[in-house]
Amino acid sequence: MKIKINKGNLIPDIKEYGKILLSVIITIYLLKGFILYLLPSLNSLSDFWGLVFWVFLITWLKNLFDFRIFGRDWF
């Protein structure tokens, strides 16, 4: 397992992350009706900022590290 750290991506690019935020919000509003139409029990919206936080965190970690497990780029 090899891990390389890209130090250039330590500070996130605000413009790129703004784009991600915008597309996440648009996707949620496009798919919300479709999901809730057949599954009305999933109507809790308490974790919206949790979702945004996870998408940001995963994107940031992905840009920061290069994982190579069994000789292959996994994430």
Partner 1 sequence: MDSKTKKYLGFMFLIIAIFFLDPIPGPTDFVALQAYSMYSGADVGLNNLSVIYADYFVWSMIVGILLLWIAMYFLGWNLKKLWKKIDLGKYNLAVGLSILVVVAMSFFNLNSYLYLLILPIVYYFYEKDFSEAIALFLSSYILILFGFRELLSFIFTKTSIPEFVEMQSPVVSWISSTLGFEAITSISLISSVLISFVAIFLLTKLLREKF
Residues that bind partner 1 (CB under 8 A): 20, 23-24, 27-28, 31-32, 35-36, 38-48, 50-51, 54-55, 58-59, 62, 70-71, 74-75
**C-alpha to C-alpha distance for 18 and 16, rounded to whole angstroms:** 5
In the complex with partner 1, the residue whose CB is nearer, 28 or 64, is 28
In the complex with partner 1, the residue whose CB is nearer, 8 or 41, is 41
Residue-wise burial string across 20-38, b where 16 or more C-beta atoms lie within 10 A, e elsewhere: eeeeeeeeeeeeeeeeeee
CB of 35 to partner 1, least distance (A): 4
